[in-house]
Amino acid sequence: RRGRSPVAAAAIALVPTAVTLVEYTPRRFIETEVVAPAPMLEWAGDPAQYAVLDLSGDYRMMWHATLHRKPMTGGNITRVPERLERWYWGEPIVQALRRPRARSELIFERVDPSLDFDWGLDAPDPRLRPDSFQIEWTGSLRIPTSGPWSFFLSSDDGSSLEIDGNLVLDNGGFHPLRERSMTLRLEAGEHRVRVRYQEGSGKAALRWDWLGPGQSRAPVPAEALSHEGRPGLLGRYHQTMKGCRQTREGGRRGLRALGVRFVVTGPDGHECLERELQLPQTYAGEGVRIYEVPPE
C-alpha cells in the first residue's frame, strides 16, 4: 500500500492551523443605523486591552463592536472564539449579574390614617420606585355595634384582608382595578386586622370600605383604626430588589479577573452594579448605561 504523498501530508498537517485561524477570525456584524454611544468612539482610540461585559439584553452594543475593538461578551463576541464565550458566561460573577435574584426589602414605615389610595403611575412615596412594591398594614379595627358587617377591598394589583387572623378577603394576583367583598358577623370591640397589598407594574390603587349597622358604605375611618394607641394602621413599605449576593470588593475582583473594565446595561441600569458592587456610572444615553470597574 502506497503512503500519503508529501502534498497530502502537508495539507493534513495544516488543517488544525486553518481551523484555529477560522475560529479566531472576527465575526461579521449586523449593520445598523443606531447611533453608537459616545464612549465607544473613545474606546476605538484607546490602545489599552480590556473586555466589555454587555448586560443590555438586546445586544445593540455588539453591532458597534468593531468601533472600539475590544473583546465583548453577550450576543456576538468580538474576536473571541466560541469556546472562550462559553467559559466567560460560566464564570460565577457573570452568572450572578445575568440572573439576579429578587427579594423584598423594607424601605420605611409610617402610620396611615385610612386606606384609600389612588397612586396612578406614581409611587406612594419618593423613597419607593413606582413599580414592584408591597405594603403591609397592621393594627386594630374597632367595631362600634355588633352585627353583620360588610367589607369591600378594591385594588390594582393584588390585596388581601385578615381579621383576627382569618383571611376574609382575597383579591390577590396581578390585575386591573378589581373589587372583592364579604359580609360576616362581628362583635362590638377591638379586632386585629392585617391588610396586604402588592404592585407589579402600571397603575396602582387600594381602597378598603365598610358597611354595617348604622354605617353607610365608606372608607374605614381613622377613628375606627389604631396602632399602639395612635389612629390609623402601621404600614410597612417594601420594594422588590434584585440581588446578586456579591460583596462590593468580591464582585469587583471577579470582574477584574476576567479583564472587564466596562459593563453595559439597558436604559434602566442594574441594581446589583449600583447597590452591591457600587460601580460608578460613567454614561447614560442611546438606550444604554455604562459602568466602570475601578482598578484596585
Q: What is the pLDDT of residue 257?
A: 87
Asked if 202 and 169 sit in the same domain, the reply is yes
Q: Based on the domain organization, do 200 and 220 belong to the same domain?
A: yes
CB 288 within 8 A of CB 60: yes
Q: Cβ of 182: how many Cβ atoms within 10 Å?
A: 15
* 111 shares its domain with 212: yes
| pLDDT at residue number 23 | 43
Amino acid at 163: I
Is-cis flag, bond preceding 268, omega within 30? no
Q: Is residue 268 part of a domain?
A: yes
**159, 254: one domain:** no
Q: Quick one: pLDDT at residue 32?
A: 47
Q: How big is the chain by its Cα radius of gyration, in Å?
A: 29
The whole-number pLDDT of residue 96 equals: 85
CA distances, 25 to each of 80, 85, 206 (Å)? 9, 14, 58
Q: Nearest 5°: phi and psi at 287?
A: 80, 15
User: 132 near 201, Cβ under 8 Å?
Assistant: yes
Does residue 66 fall inside a structural domain?
Answer: yes
What is the pLDDT tens value at each position of the chain, 296 positions in all? 455 666 666 666 665 555 444 444 444 444 445 566 788 777 767 777 777 888 876 555 454 444 445 555 443 334 444 444 555 667 888 888 888 777 788 999 999 999 999 999 999 999 998 888 999 999 999 999 999 999 999 999 999 999 999 999 999 999 999 999 999 999 999 999 999 999 998 999 999 999 999 999 999 999 999 999 899 999 999 998 777 878 899 999 999 988 888 888 888 888 889 888 999 999 998 888 999 999 98
CA distances from 81 to 20, 73, 182, 193, 264 (A): 9, 11, 63, 61, 21
CB 206 within 8 A of CB 233: no
The verdict on 89 and 107 lying in the same domain is no
Quick one: pLDDT at residue 30? 43
Indicate whether 118 belongs to any domain: yes
Q: Residue 126 maps to which CATH number?
A: 2.60.120.1560
Q: So what's the pLDDT on residue 183?
A: 97
Whole domain around residue 31: which residue ranges?
25-100+245-292
191 and 109 assigned to the same domain:
yes
How many domains does the chain contain in total? Answer: 2
Query: Are 76 and 109 part of one and the same domain?
Result: no
Helix, strand, or coil here: 20? Answer: helix
Q: With respect to residue 48, please indicate whether it lies within any of the assigned structural domains.
A: yes
* 254 plus 231 within the same structural domain: no
Length of the chain as a residue count: 296
Amino acid at residue number 105: E
87 with 125, same domain: the answer is no
Region at 269 (left for phi over 0; alpha for psi -120 to 50; beta for the rest): left
User: Of the residues 219, 242, 265, which one is the last residue of a structural domain?
Assistant: 242
Cβ neighbours for 63, distance < 8 A, ≥ 6 positions apart: 29, 30, 31, 32, 34
- 125 with 203, same domain? yes
Q: Are 255 and 233 within one domain?
A: no
Cβ neighbourhood burial of 208 (10 Å; 0-12, 13-18, 19+): buried
Looking at 200, 216, 242, the residue that finishes a domain is 242
CB of 168 within 8 A of CB of 185? no
Given this model, what pLDDT does residue 193 score? Answer: 98
- If we measure between CA atoms, which residue out of 46, 48, 72 comes closest to residue 60? 72
Verify that 122 and 184 share a domain, yes or no: yes
In a domain? residue 5: no
